[in-house]
Amino acid sequence: MKNNVKEITELLNSALQCEFTTINQYWIYGLTLHHIGLERLSKKFLEESVEERSHVERIASRILQIGGVAKFDAINEIDNTQDVEKMLECGIQLENDVIDKYNKMISKIADMQDHATADILTEILREEVIHKEWLEAQLKVMREMGRQLYISKLVELDDEEEGSGGGKHHHH
């Protein structure tokens, strides 16, 4: 593995670029959803953003362990839509790209006999698949219900949640 440190580091740095892009993408979506009043969905995107940060931590730590230099300065273009359907589609696209990338990367790195790194990426890959499945489920529900109904349902759920803490609904 020693003679492959440079190549493995490059692969991992390209993974970091994807992760940083996703962190920022989900972060702006979370803030935007909060701004338009969709709290539950906002919270979910912000949580996903934080989870992606744990991926950065694991990948960067591994780069340092193998004697490489972690790059934190690369990011792809961010989409600034305020359209919920487009957010879900874009999230799915991001996850598909990263899943595809990790699958290729894992087999390359395993071929180089660096199984520790391959294991870390496999764990992260599993989490990305869970993110993707959640996004796809949301999109499916939205398409079956229709956008307006889906969004009004989200608003209803947010209102209920607010009410459960003794917010708007006072019982005398």
Q: 98-111 burial by CB neighbour count: b if 16+ within 10 A, else e?
A: bbebbeebbeebee
Give the pLDDT confidence score for residue 171 in this predicted structure: 43
Give the pLDDT confidence score for residue 124 in this predicted structure: 98
Q: What is the pTM of this model?
A: 0.89
Q: 62-97 burial by CB neighbour count: b if 16+ within 10 A, else e?
A: bbeebebeebeeebeeebeeeebeebbbbbbebbee
Question: Could you tell me the domains of the chain?
Answer: 2-164 (1.20.1260.10)
Give the pLDDT confidence score for residue 1 in this predicted structure: 62
Q: Which two tokens stand for residue 147?
A: 């956008």
Q: Where are the beta strands (DSSP E) in the chain?
A: none
Torsional class of 146: left (φ above 0), alpha (ψ -120 to 50), beta (otherwise): left
Give the pLDDT confidence score for residue 41 in this predicted structure: 95
CA-based nearest residue to 41, from 172, 128, 169, 158:
158
Q: Which two tokens stand for residue 168?
A: 């708007």
pLDDT by 10-residue block (mean), the chain, 172 residues: 89 97 98 95 97 97 98 96 96 97 97 96 98 97 94 88 55 44
Give the pLDDT confidence score for residue 76 in this predicted structure: 95
Give the pLDDT confidence score for residue 159 in this predicted structure: 85
